[in-house]
Structure 1
Amino acid sequence: MKKRIGVVAVLMLMVMAAIATGCSKDQPNGTNGDSTSSNNASKPSPTEESASNDAESNVPVDQIKITMNLKPDDGAVQEYKDMISGKFATFNEKYAEYEATATFYNYSPETFIPRIEAKKVDTMTYMWATETKPLAARGLLKPLDSYLDQVPELKEALNMEIVGQISRGDDGQIYSIPLDGYTQLLLYNRERFADVGLDPEKPPTNWDELTDYAKKLTDPDANRFGLQINGADGEAAWKFQNYVFQAGGEMESLVDGKWQATFNSDAGVAALEFMKDLKWTHGVAHPNVLTNQDESMRLLATGEAAMVLGDGWVVHQAVNQYGAQPSNIGIGLLPAGPQGQVGWQMGGSIAAFPNYASDEEVIAGLKFLYEYYFNIDKETVENEYLARVKGREIVGVPKVQVFSTNSDAAQMIKEAEQKYAVLPQTNIKFDPYVELAPGLMPEPPQEAQLLYKRLSVAIQTILTDKNADPKSELDQAAAEVNAILEKNVN
């Protein structure tokens, strides 16, 4: 699923933009200058004109021009527009041999692939993390390993474990730069735990404990249920894949050189049987199973559902939209499966280069990414975290760390998270900087959105028909997904 979490250098203003941005027409591509000349602007004096000509003469003749689709739309707040244009201006001032320009383009596979085949895309494109493998497999992206060696400051700043998760193609080469990330977590209502005698400091750690906790937390007469299962649209499969990972399975696999759906494996069947038991055998799931993640946050905030699966972003919804108290939200890792297998779905955003980008453009782009996203200082981090709190963001929610865990930037972020945390850090029942990464699992690398859509139908059938057979439903869904993969990928 497409997510919207930004790195520390831009997250606060992205949040502001998301709140303030409405449906507006696209702006033409180009820099987002703050001092656009008006029709009534006076003609420059001869002295000014001469100075301008002198400045132009100092621009290198062989200046490398690069673009990236970071230009805000018309509805974005002015502070966000100023921040974007300021970052581009700072880069251009620091590197006279380059000219970086922001363009406006909302990524989608439907438009990106024909554009890249026509050689009409930006030097770098901000896109979903799910896109690295499928685009690389089609030969559409530039491999970056050798170029990263030439921009050591960026390579040293990157969390290479995360790079390995979402930025490597099937051939082992790096095809993208991770810019931000999220992961699925167990969110729970601490008051509900305490009310039934469960320790809010000890969330369930495996499927058996999850079931036992959910039973104790369920009281249908009081409209109280142990957990909420999302069954709406593609979200059903998006959440379900966590259970597949915990059962030791995968959503897709490369078999004899071809991509195939493998969510109908024994592990996938065990995962869907588990979900079916939660709904029909144990009766611990909230009866409204065909809801989306937004509704889960309402149920968590009101206590109707004591536990939900969700990414860290939705904690902001629970608090700011539905009135949950940050002190009442507990966060734990998703419980391990029957064999102790851990796995929590991760996603995020990346930057990638088209296969036809020149060596000079790639080097310039990597330097730009370093300056824009990774070259941060303590004062900037402090100011942005303070602004995020003022903007009602629930600072302190665990997220995937794209910075090298040994870097100064990671330490700055960790200190700022703790200093400005709105969510009590004692409510997080694991160490995000140590325990999160080993269980991270990427989304399906091929046709993820279509896979989610088709698999969700099977899950919805199980959640609404207690006589439906998990194996049969998964086999049917896998056959349809395989037909899509055969047509579009293999």
Structure 2
Amino acid sequence: MKSPGKVALAGFSALAIAATLAGCSAGGGSGKLELRVGTFPAGADPAAYEAFEKQEADFEKANPTIDVIGEEYEWKGPTFAVQLAGGSLPDVFTVPFTEAKTLLENGQLADVTKQVEDLGYADKFNPVILEGVQDNDGKIYGFPRQAYAMGLHYNRELFTAAGLDPDKPPTTWDEVRAAAKTISEKTGKAGFATMTFNNTGGWQLTAQTVARGGRTQVDNGDGTYTETIDNEGTKAALQFLHELRWEDNSMGSNFLLDWGTINQEFAAGNVGMYTGGSDVYTALVRDFSTEPDIYGLAVIPNEGDDPGTLGGGDIAVVSPTATEEEKEAGAKWIDYYYMQRLLDEKAAKFDAKTLADSDQAVGTPVLPVLDPETEEQRVGWIEKYINVPRDQMTSFIDNIGTQLPVGEPKGKTQEIYALLDAVVQAVLTDEDADIDALLEQANKDAQAILDAK
């Protein structure tokens, strides 16, 4: 197997190709444990792989019996189950928080309780976040590695071209609509776009529902859940999309977008605004070659009774088919690659410097998975390496602390997100779509999914 990072970088010269292939061929016969780890989506910036290779080399120097093999990886709801069943996933990979409970209940994640406890920082995790990777007995099935709150991403260049002030992004949904219409009229680009498939349409509809005070699911506290999709917040979110699409014509012509494709469109300058996780700037620069100057981040507008901001993140996990030796090696890699940068000054500075030297993002706004004191300490350690344009993110940084964090629905999350994809698509492709009827049916279908044994 070849590290995609090595392959990507090798393309620069024949000499590099020869050196890379020689390096890859050494693993199998060296007597080392080969550990396959998920890296980046296909097509990521070569600089990202360069940074990864430096970290890989540093890890292998400290762990000479382990040969790390990077593999291209991107979690996508519809394909993940097939990869998992077919055994094509790496030994170490990441999954969204929303998948953790279902996967661990199905025996599809390795129990890493001993490894986390041996590392000595189980008590430093935010307990609410840690609970998401624990079973009823408190056993731990993954390392929470990053978290985010939802934000409003906007293209400062398109704002300027449309005569809008990029330093004063919208703060209400009405202002978002007005800005989207202006951008579309002045530039011919989509003023606002939203994700619609691969479970992302349901994800963003849920986020926009929460921002309007609605909730799509109630946790009954006894292991059961009640669907409440048919609520005023969801109706308002869908009506908003209907108005932008059919009354304002401000959403462009592409209504099949997921996380990857909407980021591609944004990076290409074709989208004025969209909602998504606050941590996406790193991927925009690393994987989609976004120019930093065009990027802006604001808080997602909050309106109505009991509004909040949907949060989420992902966890690093070990394959359930891993041997004990592979599990130990996997935990060491996760600790090195994801966790020590949060906990140790030397590791934090090494990681930040490595990323900065490779022109990768350092300092992207996130929600800390560890206690506030540990996170504040980490930011202090890496301050001189921070290179993200945080002055273009002040609306988010200054205001996210005033918004109520709301976790994603826990019951059959991704299956219900997939169900809601179709609702979002219907509203955007059928001008006469009956929103009330769509939500009534979606609520029944979602509850059936929850009730199925």
Aligned to 1:269: 235
Aligned to 1:244: 209
Deviation sequence 1:391-435 (CA, Å, 0-9, x none): 33243432343343312x653345525633142434332338972
Say which of 310, 314, 325 aligns to 1:348. Answer: 314
Q: Is 1:332–2:298 an aligned residue pair?
A: yes
Judged with a 3 Å threshold, the aligned counterparts in structure 2 of structure 1 residues 340 and 275 are, in CA distance, closer, same or farther, namely farther
Structure-1 separation of matches of 2:319 and 2:197: 34
Structure-2 separation of matches of 1:320 and 1:355: 31
Judged with a 3 Å threshold, the aligned counterparts in structure 2 of structure 1 residues 305 and 363 are, in CA distance, closer, same or farther, namely closer
Structure-2 separation of matches of 1:442 and 1:471: 23
Say which of 424, 436, 445 aligns to 1:471. Answer: 436
Given that 1:297 and 1:322 are in contact with CA atoms closer than 8 Å, whether structure 2 keeps it comes out as: yes
Say which of 70, 80, 83 aligns to 2:37. Answer: 70
Aligned to 2:387: 421
Deviation at 1:338, TM superposition (A): 2.3
Report the aligned-residue RMSD.
5.0
Given that 2:27 and 2:67 are in contact with CA atoms closer than 8 Å, whether structure 1 keeps it comes out as: no
Judged with a 3 Å threshold, the aligned counterparts in structure 2 of structure 1 residues 392 and 254 are, in CA distance, closer, same or farther, namely same
Deviation at 1:185, TM superposition (A): 2.1
Say which of 83, 87, 91 aligns to 2:59. Answer: 87
Aligned to 1:163: 130
Letter of the structure 2 residue corresponding to residue 272 of structure 1:
L
Alignment of 1:302-341 (within 5 A): 304-311=270-277, 314-315=280-281, 325-339=291-305, 341=307
My pick for the range that moved more, 325-334 or 173-182, is 173-182
Letter of the structure 2 residue corresponding to residue 238 of structure 1:
W
Structure-2 separation of matches of 1:363 and 1:295: 36
- Specify the SS of the correspondent of 2:275: strand
Given that 2:297 and 2:393 are in contact with CA atoms closer than 8 Å, whether structure 1 keeps it comes out as: yes
Say which of 212, 215, 234 aligns to 2:199. Answer: 234
Deviation at 1:356, TM superposition (A): 12
Deviation sequence 1:150-197 (CA, Å, 0-9, x none): 654x12543445334x43457887543202344442111234445556
Structure-2 separation of matches of 1:111 and 1:384: 30
Given that 1:34 and 1:82 are in contact with CA atoms closer than 8 Å, whether structure 2 keeps it comes out as: no
Extract unaligned runs of 5+ from structure 1. 1-13, 23-32, 42-65, 93-98, 116-120
Q: Is 1:411–2:380 an aligned residue pair?
A: no
Deviation at 1:357, TM superposition (A): 10
Letter of the structure 2 residue corresponding to residue 391 of structure 1:
S
Deviation sequence 1:237-275 (CA, Å, 0-9, x none): 232221122233444444575445443344333332232
State TM-score, norm by structure 2. 0.71
Say which of 351, 356, 364 aligns to 1:397. Answer: 364
Extract unaligned runs of 5+ from structure 2. 12-22
Letter of the structure 1 residue corresponding to residue 130 of structure 2:
V
State TM-score, norm by structure 1. 0.66
Judged with a 3 Å threshold, the aligned counterparts in structure 2 of structure 1 residues 69 and 401 are, in CA distance, closer, same or farther, namely farther
My pick for the range that moved more, 362-371 or 174-183, is 362-371
Q: Is 1:381–2:353 an aligned residue pair?
A: no
- Specify the SS of the correspondent of 1:180: strand
My pick for the range that moved more, 365-374 or 419-428, is 365-374
Letter of the structure 1 residue corresponding to residue 180 of structure 2:
A
Given that 2:363 and 2:388 are in contact with CA atoms closer than 8 Å, whether structure 1 keeps it comes out as: yes
Aligned to 1:128: 95
Judged with a 3 Å threshold, the aligned counterparts in structure 2 of structure 1 residues 353 and 156 are, in CA distance, closer, same or farther, namely farther
My pick for the range that moved more, 470-479 or 295-304, is 295-304
Structure-2 separation of matches of 1:171 and 1:390: 44
Judged with a 3 Å threshold, the aligned counterparts in structure 2 of structure 1 residues 412 and 284 are, in CA distance, closer, same or farther, namely same
Given that 1:241 and 1:345 are in contact with CA atoms closer than 8 Å, whether structure 2 keeps it comes out as: no
Judged with a 3 Å threshold, the aligned counterparts in structure 2 of structure 1 residues 222 and 17 are, in CA distance, closer, same or farther, namely same
Deviation at 1:468, TM superposition (A): 0.8
Structure-2 separation of matches of 1:37 and 1:430: 45
Structure-1 separation of matches of 2:156 and 2:306: 25
Letter of the structure 1 residue corresponding to residue 59 of structure 2:
K
Judged with a 3 Å threshold, the aligned counterparts in structure 2 of structure 1 residues 324 and 139 are, in CA distance, closer, same or farther, namely closer
- Larger Cα-atom Rg: 1
Deviation at 1:333, TM superposition (A): 1.7
Given that 1:389 and 1:422 are in contact with CA atoms closer than 8 Å, whether structure 2 keeps it comes out as: no
Percent identity over the alignment? 22
Letter of the structure 2 residue corresponding to residue 229 of structure 1:
T
Deviation at 1:132, TM superposition (A): 1.9
Structure-1 separation of matches of 2:50 and 2:445: 46
Judged with a 3 Å threshold, the aligned counterparts in structure 2 of structure 1 residues 190 and 68 are, in CA distance, closer, same or farther, namely same
Say which of 181, 184, 205 aligns to 2:171. Answer: 205
Deviation at 1:309, TM superposition (A): 1.9
Say which of 147, 153, 160 aligns to 1:187. Answer: 153
Given that 1:158 and 1:404 are in contact with CA atoms closer than 8 Å, whether structure 2 keeps it comes out as: yes
Given that 1:232 and 1:290 are in contact with CA atoms closer than 8 Å, whether structure 2 keeps it comes out as: yes
- Specify the SS of the correspondent of 1:467: coil
Deviation at 1:439, TM superposition (A): 2.1
Structure-2 separation of matches of 1:300 and 1:78: 25
Judged with a 3 Å threshold, the aligned counterparts in structure 2 of structure 1 residues 371 and 127 are, in CA distance, closer, same or farther, namely closer
Structure-2 separation of matches of 1:257 and 1:383: 43
Say which of 147, 171, 185 aligns to 1:220. Answer: 185
Structure-2 separation of matches of 1:195 and 1:394: 26
Deviation at 1:326, TM superposition (A): 1.7
Aligned to 2:15: none
